[in-house]
Amino acid sequence: MEIEKVHEMSAALEQRLGTVVRGQGQPIRDLVVALLAGGHVLLEGPPGLGKTLLVRTIAGLLRADYKRIQFTPDLMPADVTGTTIFRPKTGEFQFMPGPLFTQVLLADEINRTPPKTQAALLEAMQERQVTLDGRSHALPELFLVVATQNPIEFEGTYPLPEAQLDRFFMKVSMSYPNEVAEREILKEHVASLELEPSAATGLEPILGSDDVLAMRSRAAGVFVEDSVQEYVVRIVRASRDHRRVTLGASSRAAVVLMFAAKAAAASSGRDFVRPDDVKTMALAVLRHRLILRPEVEVEGIGADQVIADLLGMVEVPRGTPE
């Protein structure tokens, strides 16, 4: 697939998502980049901003199988992955796939289910297969998990441990839209009493799973010159020495940041990575991989501010391709 075709398809996907979920340009951009890179997303934001709608819409635009799991305190691992049942007629055990076996999965409020169930999902995300009774069951080749959580409610929740957070390719943050976008949202609903925006009805798929896999293959071939690779390494290493950070980004974080930059470059129609691609993707890739000092959090300073500080400290390589 030509790089221009990757750009064309990515732009069409972003444009159509933007007509359904308004005022969320950067989260939409991040989600499309994660799709191109083959990574899973932790989507965080207050209720009522369209997190579920966004995931459902991208599944529809991709002509992909879609399932949603509402995570609750009583959810068991088998409710997610599936189980084996005994068939008396045949005298054999048969595997019954759970909702995990789909192409686009919305894991709604993942922090409301116990760690054992969280771990079952996250292990499948990592291995891209489910193993039960000694048998492995492969997940679809196109497999995207978007897990949501509410950043303001902590009662009755089970926060994801750092090791499990690290399995998410990105943490995408949705915030309130600006005034212009909110006016557009109201206009979408003024002629009806339906919460579903009119733009979401009758959307035609624009990509198939083969298209997405071809786009990923092209993104994998994007060139990253040595100076840009060194830039990624310096950012990650600087995070470990930052005065406001207890635990910095891992080597895996460096690899993921490079992958995200490659996907961002491909979606922009370029077959090489610029330092700006790295800077643009650093927030989504690193914000859930840094552990800040307790006193910093008390002061109300978040990971995004620390990452912005890091990017200001690390020198940008010169002489990279334009």
- For residue 194, the model assigns a pLDDT of 84
What is the DSSP code (8-state) at residue 272? B
For 12-40, the DSSP string reads HHHHHHHHHSTT-HHHHHHHHHHHHHT--
| Residue 36 pLDDT level (bands cut at 50, 70, 90) | very high
Predicted confidence at residue 321, as pLDDT, reads 55
The pTM of this model reads 0.91
- Please give the residue that has the higher pLDDT: either 261 or 126: 261
Q: What is the predicted pLDDT for the residue at 86?
A: 80
Return the ∠ at Cα 304 (arms to 302 and 306), rounded to 5°: 75
Note the pLDDT tens digit of each residue in 283-302: 999 999 999 998 887 788 88
194: helix, coil or strand?
coil
* pLDDT at residue 44, rounded to an integer: 94
| Nearest Cα to Cα of residue 125 among 252, 40, 213, 35 | 40
Q: What is the pLDDT of residue 153?
A: 65
Q: What is the mean pLDDT of the chain?
A: 91
Q: From the CB of residue 163, how many other CB atoms can be counted at a distance below 10 Å?
A: 10
The domains of the chain, with CATH numbers, are 1-212 (3.40.50.300), 221-315 (1.10.8.80)
Q: Which of 85-99, 236-250, 257-271 has the highest mean pLDDT?
A: 257-271
- Residue 190: band (very low, low, confident or very high) from pLDDT cuts 50, 70, 90: confident
Give the model confidence (pLDDT) of 209-249 as tens digits.
999 999 999 999 999 999 999 999 999 999 999 999 999 99
